[in-house]
């Protein structure tokens, strides 16, 4: 089985027409910039490298994320941010969901994404039931109560032949939230809901969330479109999202050891499934 090659960022800049970077675990640790990240972004800006930050974050707007990056020392133009929240608009257009009553679980920015997409926002206890539920962030919610309410709603509507559409912009199960600190992503709670519905009704396409971010194709298709090339490498820290998604999209991938993944040597990938194996290993961005 093929194993990845150890390399460095300079070699990737020379080799590829575009570089795609994950955010959490690659550029930042959830709180602060990771070593070498700020200098690398400055270098890429100076050398006019074709790069994009490809993030599953659907909890904040691009402008809010840029402000946060700036406070961490980065100078990243807003046009170089591709995030899963911004894909909600295209999803609503593709599936004729404009004007649909929509429940959004997440931040105010997550609500804004859905409002801009044409969804009519409702609350979980409104008289008007949602036809769409967008799970935009893992907090702040009383998840015990929320999941029970959603399970009842999805179950009843499925039996009635009018299933509620479930949308998950960010498929991250966990995420870095500071050095050595991790949080559960929205996908953790959607996974619980999906498993419960499978237990009740068996595998049903109508009861599976539509997922927009990595490792699923919508975010890679959008990034390639904006980059103007598929001759790109995706640099990420999670095998199940960054690496798997890039591999499926036909894009080369590189894993860094500063986030979720702790494999640092090629031989440590000998027993890893091919779809989760990157082409390269980066010890850091320095």
Alpha-helix residue ranges (DSSP H) falling in the chain: 9-15, 37-46, 62-71, 88-94, 108-117, 143-159, 186-201, 217-227, 244-248
What does DSSP say about strands 174-176 and 182-184: parallel, antiparallel, or unpaired?
A: antiparallel
Q: Could you give the domains of the chain? A: 5-56+214-282 (3.40.50.1000), 95-211 (3.40.50.1000)
pLDDT tens, position by position, 53-83: 999 988 888 888 999 999 999 999 999 999 9
Q: Residue 240: which of 213, 218, 207, 205 has the closest Cα?
A: 213
Q: Answer yes or no: is pLDDT of 264 > 80.
A: no
Phi, psi of 272 (to 5 degrees): -85, 140
Query: What pLDDT sits at residue 140?
Result: 74
> Using CA atoms, how far apart are residues 46 and 1, in angstroms rounded to an integer?
39
Q: Which of 148-152, 170-174, 260-264 shows the lowest per-residue confidence on average (mean pLDDT)?
A: 260-264
Q: Which of 28-32, 226-230, 235-239 ranks highest by mean pLDDT?
A: 226-230
């Amino acid at each position: 089985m093929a194993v990845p090659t150890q390399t460095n960022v300079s070699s990737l800049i020379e080799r590829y027409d575009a570089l795609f970077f994950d955010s959490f675990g690659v550029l930042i640790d959830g709180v602060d910039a990771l070593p070498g990240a700020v200098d690398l972004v400055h270098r890429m800006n100076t050398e006019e490298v074709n790069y994009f930050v490809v993030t599953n974050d659907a909890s904040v707007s691009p402008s809010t994320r840029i402000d946060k990056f700036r406070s961490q020392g980065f100078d990243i133009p807003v046009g170089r941010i591709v995030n899963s929240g911004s894909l909600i608009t295209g999803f609503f257009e593709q599936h004729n969901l404009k004007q649909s009553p929509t429940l959004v679980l997440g931040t105010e920015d997550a609500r804004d994404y859905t409002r801009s997409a044409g969804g009519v926002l409702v609350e979980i206890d409104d008289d008007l039931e949602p036809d769409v539920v967008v799970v935009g962030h893992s907090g702040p919610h009383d998840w015990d109560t929320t999941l029970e309410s959603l399970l009842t709603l999805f179950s009843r509507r499925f039996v009635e032949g009018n299933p509620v559409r479930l949308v998950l912009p960010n498929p991250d199960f966990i995420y870095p939230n500071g050095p050595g600190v991790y949080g559960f992503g929205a996908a953790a709670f959607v996974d619980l809901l999906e498993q419960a519905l499978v237990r009740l009704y068996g595998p049903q396409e109508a009861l599976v969330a539509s997922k927009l971010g990595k490792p699923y194709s919508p975010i890679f298709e959008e990034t390639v479109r904006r980059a103007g090339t598929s001759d790109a490498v995706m640099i990420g820290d999670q095998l199940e999202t960054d690496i798997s998604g890039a591999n499926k999209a036909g894009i080369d991938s590189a894993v860094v050891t500063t986030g979720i993944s702790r494999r640092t040597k090629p031989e440590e990938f000998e027993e890893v499934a091919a779809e989760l194996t990157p082409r390269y290993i980066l010890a850091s961005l320095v």
